């Protein structure tokens, strides 16, 4: 390929196969990106007998997974759930996912819930360690090597009334962040399966034939642009677009300047844009995960979150992402966490300023410039019911209810735009559960597949996001896409 044909960052423009002078290499399955999705896809493709090559832009694999905590959302009765005494089922898991997501993908959800136990076992068979232990504290993720924890809204209203709650966050065994442990095991498994991985290989373009099918790609490697042909297909596993400022501005402008994007530097939407070059449709590009991690310490859950009207707006025992979304939607973004003396503690995440400390709720109300009487009325009502162990207003669990009555009273500023909020993109290519990329008309694009954050998976809304669905989706549907791409090679061969 001549360098001149390749503009530096325009993956949404494809190359015609007639413009390819020669193929540098021909394989069965080409995988773009070597994070959790790419690794799982590669393992399955290779084990299905496909000659599988992964091209990774960075100098090493891992993607965002290797930077993450290593939580996998799994349920339906995994080994760890059983060992910890939880009686989960695929039906309850599916009920929870569907109830908590305003824009579900019914087929992906069903497969994910039904296949969850087998997927857990598969991860274990690849060497991924999970400890048979429950972490009971309310945390963002266990800091130690515990596995199972409540990583979503399962016990929060209204979900606890819709689906039998069970903890489904499975953290890979390891102190602190364990995403690197997960990826290391997947990497080893991939190598064992015969997968070839080439790092420092940036994919620039897809190559399309006359009918619009994807037949290969152009990658920049060893200082030159090389054409790679794929018999089975190209599988995009190149992450989301949290690190692409222009795309954030275009699709998620309300977050810009107010959140810290979470991701790796190459989460620049290249997967999505490559897919769009072959007419793949992007869906839910306006969706995101957002969090305002004011806990731990878990004692802060006893506090109440109020907006600029001095009103509560969400049960404080909800998942931090669901709280983050609700908080970010309050008028002018104003949100305070109100606590009293016995439950006071500093959020372990830095950046939550104390907006006021006063000897009375009334004083706090004035110090925060809330409408006179508003916070007082809210606290009175909350306390009245909390004394009885009830919260008819927002249905916080009784275990987190106690009246706020011991001075001093404090307010942490949790306002959107001031407090620490983190976010990443959830939108991506529209795919079938098999990974086949679809056009806006629902036509599957020949030879093109996607998995992980390059497509829109089971985590697809700020309201419904729970920890572990990113890696859960990436590994689960990465595998499926790898198998589909490998199978297509056989069909094409015949």
Rounded distance, CA 451 to CA 429, Å? 9
Q: Which stretch binds its own copies (CB under 8 A): 134-142, 145-153, 297-305, 374-382?
A: 374-382
Site for its own copies in 418-477 (CB under 8 A): 430, 439-443
276 contacts its own copies (rule: CB under 8 A): yes
Q: Which of 243, 272, 305, 423 binds its own copies (CB under 8 A)?
A: 272
Rounded distance, CA 493 to CA 443, Å? 22
Q: CB of 71: closest distance to its own copies in angstroms?
A: 26
Q: Which is nearer to its own copies, 286 or 299 (CB)?
A: 286
Helix-helix angle 116-125:469-493, to 10 degrees: 80
Q: CB of 458: closest distance to its own copies in angstroms?
A: 15
387 contacts its own copies (rule: CB under 8 A): no
Number of residues counted as binding its own copies (CB under 8 A): 60
Q: Which is nearer to its own copies, 25 or 157 (CB)?
A: 157
The DSSP symbol for 269 reads S
384 contacts its own copies (rule: CB under 8 A): yes
Site for its own copies in 94-113 (CB under 8 A): 102-104
Q: Which residues contact 311 (CB under 8 A, 6 or more apart)?
A: 374, 378
383 contacts its own copies (rule: CB under 8 A): no
Q: Which of 93, 182, 230, 285 binds its own copies (CB under 8 A)?
A: 285
16 contacts its own copies (rule: CB under 8 A): yes
245 contacts its own copies (rule: CB under 8 A): no
Rounded distance, CA 218 to CA 204, Å? 6
Following DSSP, what letter does each residue of 152-202 receive, concatenated?
SSTTSTTHHHHS-----EEEPSSSS--HHHHHHHHHHHHHHTT-EEE-S-E
385 contacts its own copies (rule: CB under 8 A): yes
Half-sphere exposure of 9 (CA within 13 A, CB side): 6
**In contact, 411 and 396? CB cutoff 8 Å:** no
φ and ψ at residue 478, rounded to 5 degrees: -60, -45
11 contacts its own copies (rule: CB under 8 A): yes
The DSSP symbol for 110 reads H
Q: CB of 378: closest distance to its own copies in angstroms?
A: 8
Rounded distance, CA 468 to CA 473, Å? 8
**In contact, 295 and 339? CB cutoff 8 Å:** no
Rounded distance, CA 243 to CA 266, Å? 7
Q: Which tokens is 455 given?
A: 């497509």
Nearest to 378 by CA among 450, 314, 462, 312: 312
Q: Which of 267, 287, 316, 365 binds its own copies (CB under 8 A)?
A: 287
Sheet of 169-171, strand order: 71-73, 169-171, 148-149
Q: Which of 49, 60, 158, 417 binds its own copies (CB under 8 A)?
A: 158
Q: CB of 283: closest distance to its own copies in angstroms?
A: 6
Query: For its own copies, what does the binding mask look like between residues 320 and 349, x meaning CB under 8 A?
Result: ---------x-xx-----------------
377 contacts its own copies (rule: CB under 8 A): yes
210 contacts its own copies (rule: CB under 8 A): yes
Q: Which of 170, 185, 205, 251 binds its own copies (CB under 8 A)?
A: 251
373 contacts its own copies (rule: CB under 8 A): yes
Q: CB of 440: closest distance to its own copies in angstroms?
A: 5
**In contact, 371 and 307? CB cutoff 8 Å:** no
Q: Which tokens is 314 given?
A: 């969400």
Rounded distance, CA 451 to CA 437, Å? 9
Site for its own copies in 295-314 (CB under 8 A): 309-314
397 contacts its own copies (rule: CB under 8 A): no
The DSSP symbol for 391 reads -
246 contacts its own copies (rule: CB under 8 A): yes
Residues found near its own copies in the complex (CB under 8 A): 9-14, 16, 18, 102-104, 158, 210, 212, 246-247, 250-251, 253-254, 269, 272-273, 276-277, 279, 281-287, 309-314, 329, 331-332, 371-374, 377, 380-381, 384-385, 392-394, 430, 439-443
């Amino acid at each position: 390929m001549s360098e001149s044909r390749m503009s530096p960052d325009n993956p949404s423009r494809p190359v015609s196969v007639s413009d390819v002078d020669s193929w540098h290499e021909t394989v069965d399955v080409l995988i773009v990106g070597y994070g959790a999705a790419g690794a799982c896809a590669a393992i399955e493709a290779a084990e299905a007998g496909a000659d599988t090559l992964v091209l990774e832009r960075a100098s090493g694999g891992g993607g965002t997974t290797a930077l993450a905590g290593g939580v996998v959302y799994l349920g339906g009765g995994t080994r760890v759930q059983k060992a910890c005494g939880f009686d989960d089922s695929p039906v309850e898991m599916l009920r929870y996912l569907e109830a908590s997501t305003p824009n579900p993908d019914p087929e992906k959800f069903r497969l994910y819930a039904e296949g969850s136990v087998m997927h857990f076992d598969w991860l274990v068979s690849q060497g991924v360690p999970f400890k048979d232990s429950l972490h009971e504290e309310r945390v963002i993720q266990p800091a130690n090597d515990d596995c199972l924890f409540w990583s979503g809204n399962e016990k929060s209203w209204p979900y606890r009334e819709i689906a039998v709650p069970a903890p489904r966050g499975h953290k890979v065994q390891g102190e602190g962040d364990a995403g690197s442990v997960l990826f290391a095991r997947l990497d080893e498994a991939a190598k064992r399966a015969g997968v070839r991985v080439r790092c420092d290989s940036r994919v620039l373009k897809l190559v399309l034939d006359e009918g619009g099918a994807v037949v290969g790609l152009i990658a920049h490697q060893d200082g030159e642009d090389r054409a790679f042909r794929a018999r089975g297909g190209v599988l995009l596993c190149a992450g989301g677009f949290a690190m692409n400022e222009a795309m954030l501005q275009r699709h998620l402008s309300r977050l810009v300047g107010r959140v810290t994007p979470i991701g790796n530097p190459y989460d620049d939407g290249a997967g999505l844009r490559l897919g769009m070059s072959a007419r793949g449709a992007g869906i839910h590009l306006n969706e995101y995960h957002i969090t305002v991690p004011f806990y731990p310490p878990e004692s802060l859950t006893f506090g109440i979150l109020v907006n600029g009207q001095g009103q509560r707006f969400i049960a404080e025992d909800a998942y931090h992402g669901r709280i983050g979304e609700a908080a970010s939607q309050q008028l002018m973004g104003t949100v305070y966490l109100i606590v009293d003396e016995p439950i006071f503690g500093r959020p372990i995440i830095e950046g939550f300023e104390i907006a006021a400390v006063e000897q009375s709720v009334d004083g706090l109300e004035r110090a925060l410039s809330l409408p006179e009487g508003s916070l007082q009325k809210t606290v009175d009502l909350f306390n009245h019911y909390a004394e009885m162990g009830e919260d008819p207003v927002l249905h916080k669990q009784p275990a987190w209810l106690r009246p706020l009555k011991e001075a001093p009273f404090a307010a942490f500023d949790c306002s959107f735009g001031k407090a620490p909020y983190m976010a990443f993109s959830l939108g991506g290519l529209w795919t079938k559960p098999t990974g086949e990329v679809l056009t806006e008309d629902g036509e599957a694009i020949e030879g093109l597949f996607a998995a992980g954050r390059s497509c829109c998976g089971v985590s697809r809304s700020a309201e419904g996001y729970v920890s572990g669905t990113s890696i859960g989706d990436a590994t689960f549907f990465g595998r499926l896409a790898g198998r589909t791409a490998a199978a297509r090679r056989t069909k094409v061969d015949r």
